[in-house]
Structure 1
Amino acid sequence: MYTIWIVEDDIKIAELLKAHISKYGYQVGVVRDWNNLMEEFVEQQPHLVLMDVNLPQFDGFYWCRKIRSISNCPIIFLSARDGDMDQVMALEYGGDDYITKPFAYEVAMAKIKSQLRRVYGEYSQLNSNERTIVVEQLKLLPERLLLQMNNQEVSLSKKEADLLQLLMTHYPKVVSRTTLLEALWDDELFVDENTLSVNITRTRKKLEELNISHAIETVRGEGYKLKATWNKGDAI
């Protein structure tokens, strides 16, 4: 299930968008705390962001740059500004598309689906540089944010994919918490130990969707390591 995150200060518009997008089976979140927007982004780990331009404190262009420092997820701007320069700035600052308000929900959904296909779906398969990381039949496709096992697959957030990539490329060695924190988060963004623990828990749940349990082992005082429990009868 893809997660869409709405960064919009007009509560009515945000709630209407959330209700409409949810009808298509997506998980939808709306920004809650403008003072901790990046912390919310890290918590939500969305696959796509809908970003207004006129926002409290800082504009959407600023937040787009901040998100781009830690994530390549698609960002679609939503704005009442219809000037050419605003659209140029949106793309220059890392946006992927621009929708002018007022807009038809069908147009917004078409653009959302298009971006998801481009980054995570069938269009992304055309990327000749796509990598595949395999550990004991468990297959990670980091560019497509997919984890596959026994003809089943589950979608990952960017952080979940990055975390698994580190654990799989170091398998069967332990990866320290410090290494994970430094690799997964930008230096300018404060991230506490609990944030890593939350992402470990979420990644374990994604593995459980593939009927794999106890595969990410906590090594007390050291960090985490991947165990191929799916080959040892420890799966759910």
Structure 2
Amino acid sequence: MNKVFIVEDEDKIREELITLLNRYGYETEFSKDFKNIVEDILKADPSLVLLDINLPYYDGYYICREIRKQSNIPIMVVTSRDSEIDELMSMNLGADDFVTKPYNTQILLARISSLLRRSYSKSESEVYQFKSLKYNLSTSEAEYEGSTIELTKNESKILYTLIKNKEKIVSRDDIMKSLWQSNEFVDDNTLTVNINRLRKKLEEIGAEGYLQTKRGQGYILL
């Protein structure tokens, strides 16, 4: 059974979410200790986190960033804020999806199901290799000559797209589509941030010069 950890400070909304998710077969967990919420989430080891932005003590951006330092748990931001800046910030910090309140409950359930399917339906043995660089799809890890580093979900999707097209230029539009299914709400800055983070992580394990920018065309693994 998939477990959803709900990070929501409004009791009424949280209880409605618990009732809804339990009715549709999900196990739910939550905490009111927002000072230690990151530790509680990681300890619970959920399948997915539903994360509000406006919270006491720490906001959702901080929580998202701290979770991403230690885990690739799928994170769906659920918030009353509906600006593109909030969506952009959420994605840049490693969130996997963004839903605004008030939401249609059936659409929310469909988005949760879709995110879980995307996150966990991959084969456990899918390892891709290009030269000395290895990418493990099931663990979201990159390995180079014995050194391994964990990738965020966005970094993982970018490397997956590039390593499947090794030695071929992949356009920015194609990478953005692989990240969020559509490039409609993703701007160039969002992709650039994720590309730079991925390149830095690859360099940290010694894979320097692998991820190259082809100005005006896209990116390539060489």
TM-score range, shorter chain: 0.5 to 0.7
Decide whether the 8 Å contact of 1:217 with 1:226 is kept in 2.
Answer: yes
**SS at 2:143 equivalent:** strand
Distance 1:144 1:165, change over 3 A: same
TM-superposed CA distance for 1:206, in Å, is 1.8
Normalized against structure 1, the TM-score is what?
Answer: 0.55
User: Does residue 183 of the first structure (1) align with residue 178 of the second (2)?
Assistant: yes
Match of 1:15 in 2: 34
1:28-177 → structure 2 map (5 Å cutoff): 28=67, 34-36=80-82, 38-46=87-95, 57-58=102-103, 62-63=107-108, 65-66=110-111, 68-69=113-114, 72=117, 130-177=125-172
TM-superposed CA distance for 1:145, in Å, is 0.9
**Aligned amino acid, residue 141 of structure 1:** N
Distance 1:142 1:19, change over 3 A: closer
**Aligned amino acid, residue 44 of structure 1:** L
Normalized against structure 2, the TM-score is what?
Answer: 0.58
Distance 1:128 1:32, change over 3 A: closer
The structure having more radius of gyration, on CA atoms, is: 1
- The share of aligned pairs that are identical, in percent, is 27
Distance 1:57 1:169, change over 3 A: same
Distance 2:38 2:115 in 1: 28
TM-superposed CA distance for 1:172, in Å, is 1.1
TM-superposed CA distance for 1:159, in Å, is 1.7
TM-superposed CA distance for 1:208, in Å, is 2.6
Distance 1:63 1:199 in 2: 26
**Aligned amino acid, residue 16 of structure 1:** K
Decide whether the 8 Å contact of 1:18 with 1:28 is kept in 2.
Answer: no
Distance 2:112 2:8 in 1: 15
Distance 2:193 2:6 in 1: 22
Match of 2:27 in 1: none
TM-superposed CA distance for 1:160, in Å, is 1.1
**Aligned amino acid, residue 182 of structure 2:** D
